[in-house]
Amino acid sequence: MRTTLTIDDDVLMIARGLAERDDRTIGDVISDLARQALRAPRDQYAFETRNGVPLVPVKKGSLPVTTELVNRLRDEMP
């Protein structure tokens, strides 16, 4: 089916790259990505919240984010 869509430039660039890499059309790539997004369970993107703030899941064994770490990373930025 042929239709016209407005797609953000960054999305188009990524879709174009995927299409070139896989030797497919951009339309096929975008259709497949849309299907994947529509099939994904809604709660897959839902986070537990505390006081209205989403809590991002933490991988086992990861280090806690501390104020000191945030400040050090901020200070390292150019």
pLDDT score of 6: 94
Copy the structure tokens of residue 15: 């879709």
- Tell me how far apart the alpha carbons of residues 67 and 69 are, in angstroms, rounded to a whole number: 5
pLDDT score of 54: 83
Q: pLDDT per residue over 14-46, tens digit each?
A: 999 999 999 999 999 999 999 998 887 766 667
* Residue at 78 is within a domain: no
* Residue at 3 is within a domain: no
Bridge partners, 16 (sequence order):
none
pLDDT score of 53: 87
Percent of the chain with pLDDT strictly greater than 70: 95
* Residue at 2 is within a domain: no
pTM reported for the whole predicted model: 0.52
- Residue matched to tokens 């993107």: 45
* Mean of pLDDT over the chain: 90
> Can you give the residue range of the structural domain that contains 25?
9-72
Q: Looking at the 3D structure of the chain, how many domains does it have?
A: 1
